[in-house]
Amino acid sequence: MSGNEQFFGMVRNGEFYVFAPQHLEGATVKLTTTWIEEPHANESGVIDLAEFEGKIIEVSGRDSGKWIYSAKVVEEAGPVLSDFLKRVFLKDEVRQKRCALVIGHDKESPGIINKNRNLSEFQFNNQLYGLFEKKVKHTVICRVNRRFHAELPDDINELDPDFIISLHCNAGDGKTSGVEVLYYHKSQAGKRIAEILMKYLVEYLGLPNRGVIPKTSEDECGLLLRYSTAPCVIAKTFFMDNDADVNRAMDNLDGLADAFAKAIDEVSDNVKMEHQPIGTDGFI
């Protein structure tokens, strides 16, 4: 049918964020297959854009401000054009670094548990994440749900983050106290990220600095550090089996969230990122 217009834009959160034509630039619209003459039927014809999330697409149809009617996804832009269009139309956002955030463990296997508080690593870090995610000012945070260890690096690499932080706690003899941050021993960027995170955590918590610790792929947690291409650190923020450490952390979770958020933004600003090649064997 003639009279259809062409639209370029990006799919964000399931909706179409329009780049062009100019009169719709910056608008978020929904796509429906229905005709403009059937306004009440919009929802029934809505096009599910999930498969295009984060992608640049060309759409044909007719617009009414909030909807594009008779809509059809014509084409998905290739990587070179996508990259160019994102740079032009998302100026500030594109410059923001992306941090993949992995919350260690899950509901079914929640990690180390502090019995006195009935608090698990997963519960703690999940709660903490909810707080600092909103405080981060100029870094895009992508949460990664943990699956099996072996698949985790692939899941993360698919997101193409600039850096990765995994949240854990420590366990010792019940008395050991302090902060540790682990990084892959060959990654200079990983070491810098670990140092920045350590600085903020120790400054806020006032717990002992147990050091930024280089790990090889054969160490515990080494798989994630080695097989994720972006620099990666594992924060062991305090000792979960030490009541004093737990009390300190729980004392003001919001303050700890602030420390994480500031550290993440400083990493975005100041660390020169370098990706490492994915190896299959022979690396330690």
Which residues would be at the binding site for Zn ion (CB under 5 A)?
104, 111, 121, 168
CB of 239 to Zn ion, least distance (A): 12
SS3 49: coil
Return the DSSP state at 66: S
Q: Which residue is nearest to Zn ion (CB)?
A: 168
Q: Which is nearer to Zn ion, 121 or 245 (CB)?
A: 121
CB of 121 to Zn ion, least distance (A): 5
* Distance, CA of 224 to CA of 218 (rounded, Å): 11
Q: Which is nearer to Zn ion, 8 or 122 (CB)?
A: 122
Q: Which is nearer to Zn ion, 111 or 190 (CB)?
A: 111
CB of 282 to Zn ion, least distance (A): 28
CB of 180 to Zn ion, least distance (A): 12
Closest CA relative to residue 102, chosen from 140, 54, 141: 141
Write out the two tokens for 43.
């929802």
Q: Could you tell me which residues are beta bridge partners of residue 165?
A: 101, 233
Closest CA relative to residue 212, chosen from 229, 187, 230: 187
Phi, psi for residue 208 in degrees, rounded to 5:
-60, 140
The CA-atom distances, in angstroms, between 130 and each of 123, 124, 126, 134, 136 are: 11, 10, 6, 7, 11
Q: Which is nearer to Zn ion, 205 or 234 (CB)?
A: 234
CB of 164 to Zn ion, least distance (A): 15
Q: Could you tell me which residues are beta bridge partners of residue 212?
A: 181
C-beta of residue 164 within 8 angstroms of C-beta of residue 153: no
CB of 111 to Zn ion, least distance (A): 4
Q: Which is nearer to Zn ion, 85 or 212 (CB)?
A: 212
Q: Which is nearer to Zn ion, 56 or 194 (CB)?
A: 194
